[in-house]
């Protein structure tokens, strides 16, 4: 029997959601993937996929943003068993950060040890052109909030987790190696996370550039923080969907972001599949 959310803590809610997915899965998962705006085609690389709508999963929020379909897919990817979240939740939709990061809590209960995050971003650094893929090496959390704020449940992670290496060095090295094998020279980038939903002003982009940011977006960082709290290794890949405000004179639209995602998604899917194969082989 599922109790009301009012009567259940985060650990128990995550366990109930995980139990539903576990009952549908063919076995344990080697990795999880969260897909950003316009990047749903990555899920097409799965073999023998089983789909579960978010609406069927206990305690799962609902996604409201175009380009985020709202379902979990479980299947094979490069010889690994993968769970793919086709659509994510954002703080700007009105979700609190506990809801935004709830899928991370669920994969932790499923025993997943590796999380690949993807996102569409604006390019701040002038050499990062629209359509490029970058590897996130670090971040600036400028949301004004932290997903770990509030009472800490030690079953989910330590009270004060270290954030020296949020984005795994070995996974970054692996994805760069695999990128070279398919003709991609993947740059590293620092991701600045702002609350949205409005895009940034030129003055804000100048500020972010001064703070050391290379790309800017409205997601990824809360999930990465939560994953590290849970002891999950993180790889984050960002599509530069557009130049950030003021870098060029062009206006920015969500349609532009989705279009860039559709064009880059096949390459990103191939890259993630190759990383999954390395994970299945123990990164050997």
The CATH number assigned to the domain holding 150 equals 3.40.50.1580
Catalytic annotation, pick one of 14, 17, 37, 245: 37
Catalytic annotation, pick one of 18, 43, 99, 120: 120
Active site residue 120: yes
Looking at residue 68, what is its pLDDT?
47
Active site residue 218: yes
- Over residues 126-149, the mean pLDDT reads 94
Structure tokens at 66: 């175009």
pTM: 0.91
Could you tell me which residue, 150 or 39, shows the higher pLDDT? Answer: 150
C-alpha distances out from residue 119 to 64, 271, 284, Å: 16, 14, 27
CA pair distance 109, 99, nearest whole angstrom: 16
Looking at residue 99, what is its pLDDT?
93
Question: How do residues 77-135 score in pLDDT, each as one tens digit?
Answer: 999 999 999 888 889 888 999 999 999 999 999 999 999 999 989 999 989 988 889 99
Residue 67 has pLDDT above 70, yes or no: no
Active site residue 54: no
Active site residue 4: no
Active site residue 199: no
For the chain, the domain total comes to 1
Domain range spanning residue 104?
5-280
Catalytic annotation, pick one of 242, 243, 244, 260: 242
Active site residue 137: no
Do 37 and 240 touch, CB atoms closer than 8 A? Answer: no
CA pair distance 175, 271, nearest whole angstrom: 7
Looking at residue 258, what is its pLDDT?
63
- Over residues 51-65, the mean pLDDT reads 86
Catalytic annotation, pick one of 17, 192, 213, 218: 218
Looking at residue 129, what is its pLDDT?
85
- Over residues 195-216, the mean pLDDT reads 94
Looking at residue 44, what is its pLDDT?
83
- Over residues 37-63, the mean pLDDT reads 84
Active site residue 68: yes
- Over residues 24-39, the mean pLDDT reads 84
3-state SS string for the chain: CCCCHHHCCHHHHHHHHHHHHHHHCCCCCCEEEEECCCCHHHHHHCEEEEEEEHHHCCCCCCCCCCCCCCEEEEEEECCEEEEEEECCCCHHHCCCHHHHCHHHHHHHHCCCCEEEEEEEEEECCCCCCCCCEEEEEEEEECCCCCCCCCCCCCCCCCCCCCCCCCCCHHHHHHHHHHHHHCCCCCEEEEEEECCCCCCCCHHHHHHHHHHCCCEEECCCHHHHHHHHHCCCEEEEEEEEEEECECCECCCCCHHHHHHHHHHHHHHHHHHHHHHHHHHHCCCC
Active site residue 251: no
Do 171 and 282 touch, CB atoms closer than 8 A? Answer: no
Question: How do residues 222-272 score in pLDDT, each as one tens digit?
Answer: 999 999 999 999 999 999 988 766 566 566 565 665 666 667 788 888 999
Model confidence at 43, pLDDT cuts 50, 70, 90, reads: confident
CA pair distance 227, 136, nearest whole angstrom: 15
> How confident is the prediction for the chain on average, in pLDDT?
88
Question: How do residues 161-191 score in pLDDT, each as one tens digit?
Answer: 999 999 999 999 999 999 999 999 999 999 9
């Amino acid at each position: 029997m599922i109790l009301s959310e009012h009567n259940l803590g985060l650990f128990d809610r995550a366990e109930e959601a995980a139990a539903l997915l576990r009952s549908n899965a063919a076995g344990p998962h080697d990795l999880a993937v969260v897909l950003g705006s316009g990047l749903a085609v990555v899920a097409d690389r799965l073999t023998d996929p089983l789909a579960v709508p978010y609406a069927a999963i206990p305690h799962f929020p609902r996604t409201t943003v175009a380009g985020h379909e709202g379902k979990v897919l479980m299947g094979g990817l490069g010889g690994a068993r993968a769970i793919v979240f086709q659509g994510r939740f954002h703080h700007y939709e009105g979700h609190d950060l506990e809801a935004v990061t709830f899928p991370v809590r669920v994969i932790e209960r499923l025993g997943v040890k590796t999380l690949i995050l993807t996102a569409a971003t604006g390019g701040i650094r002038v050499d990062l052109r629209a359509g490029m893929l970058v590897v996130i090496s670090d971040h600036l959390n400028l949301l004004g909030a932290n997903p770990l704020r509030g009472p800490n449940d030690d079953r989910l992670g330590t009270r004060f987790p270290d954030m020296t290496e949020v984005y795994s060095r070995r996974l970054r090295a692996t994805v760069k190696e695999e990128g070279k094998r398919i003709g991609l020279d993947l740059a590293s980038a620092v991701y600045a996370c702002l609350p949205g939903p409005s895009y940034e002003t030129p003055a804000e982009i100048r500020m972010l550039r001064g703070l050391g940011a290379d790309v800017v977006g409205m997601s990824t960082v809360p999930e990465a923080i939560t994953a590290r709290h849970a002891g999950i290794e993180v790889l984050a890949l960002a599509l530069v969907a557009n130049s950030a405000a003021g870098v060029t004179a062009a206006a920015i639209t969500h349609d532009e972001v989705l279009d860039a995602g559709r064009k880059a998604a096949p390459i990103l899917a191939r890259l993630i599949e190759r990383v999954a194969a390395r994970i299945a082989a123990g990164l050997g």
